[in-house]
Structure 1
């Protein structure tokens, strides 16, 4: 299995609020992932998206982030960017801030992983078609081993979520449920 780390990506107050009604069991399942990882002494790495005041890192050519910049939200220190309290980090956990969709883009994630000799990532987060997909693709190109926890990911479009988990992700990652993953190394 290599040296593994659990990545909890974009599980921030504002993002969770947009998905809260979609799956009421999501946060408890994610909390279970974090609990299992800590029980196995695996590092838990939280990835958040946040921007500097004035959004100097956001181009008007970037449709998604330009729209965010127009709201005045998701800046460093904004309560909307805080990690959801149901899966709050501990002092020993690492928090990485990114500036784009992939967990690697504009962050020091690769440095953190390599400095800890981590070669395997267990991916969770919101959204499946956003941070999970982008991170999986980039991580695969960087030769990381990957596992995606299917029910610890959410997407606004259930069909896109299904297609990614059943048809796209298995080409580059092992896809398991939270309980399958928890039972695998128990």
Structure 2
């Protein structure tokens, strides 16, 4: 599928996996089958030669390169000095979503995958004009991804059953009232069928 790439946002062991500090987000992912739906989506993407880019987050132990005091959420996270440290298992992509041919775009600050990373250049070098968003969360990362992508000129599709946020009613409202203004919304099954 020419011109399309899948961006998988923060599906990391320390975010929604076995090393999480966000049990409510993990529970929301489980209720909506986010991990299995994302895995199915990624298998179909790879089979259709659609690039998969894991947009991941990490911190250096010394926090160099990270704004750590400009956001209450980050300030609270970093009370744990070991949270999401570069080189630790917590920053790894969930094993069931990884493939050796996938790309990764790592960031050390902020909540969205484009600012301060090479993601835009990577996508342009691949000829991408449409990004398909999956992952977490509907609270910050997915809206940030969609807004930045639109501002950079990309078309955006959000996979509604491969994203999650908390609380549930807020996540549904973001999908409807924010992402509905920025992106096309589809299910994983819909894309799998389109790519097969």
Q: Could you tell me the TM-score, scaled by structure 2's length?
A: 0.88
CA deviation profile, 1:83-102 (whole Å, cap 9, x unmatched): 111212x2221111012101
After TM superposition, give the deviation of residue 135 of structure 1 in Å.
Answer: 0.8
User: Would you say 1:21 and 2:27 are equivalent positions?
Assistant: yes
Superposed, 1:8-157 pairs within 5 Å as 8-16=8-16, 17=20, 18=22, 19-24=25-30, 25-56=33-64, 57-72=66-81, 73-88=83-98, 90-98=99-107, 99-157=109-167
> What SS does the corresponding residue of 1:128 show, helix, strand or coil?
coil
Tell me, which stretches of 5 or more residues in structure 2 are unaligned? none
Q: CA deviation at 1:159?
A: 1.2
The separation in 2 between residues aligned to 1:69 and 1:45, in whole angstroms, is: 26
CA–CA distance in 2 between the matches of 1:161 and 1:20?
14
Question: What CA distance in whole angstroms lies between the structure 2 residues aligned with 1:61 and 1:173?
Answer: 29
Partner of 1:166 in structure 2? 176
Kindly state the Cα deviation for residue 130 of structure 1 after the two structures are TM-superposed: 1.2
For these two proteins, the number of residue pairs brought into alignment is: 185
Any stretches of 5+ residues in structure 1 without a counterpart? none
CA RMSD of aligned residues (A): 1.5
Tell me how far apart the structure 2 counterparts of residues 22 and 136 of structure 1 sit (CA, whole Å).
20
Partner Cα distance (2:116, 2:58) in 1: 10
CA distance in 1, matches of 2:29, 2:111: 22
The ranges of structure 1 where at least 4 consecutive aligned residues each deviate by more than 6 angstroms after the TM superposition are none
Q: Is this contact kept in 2: 1:58–1:66, CA < 8 A?
A: no
TM-score (norm 1): 0.93
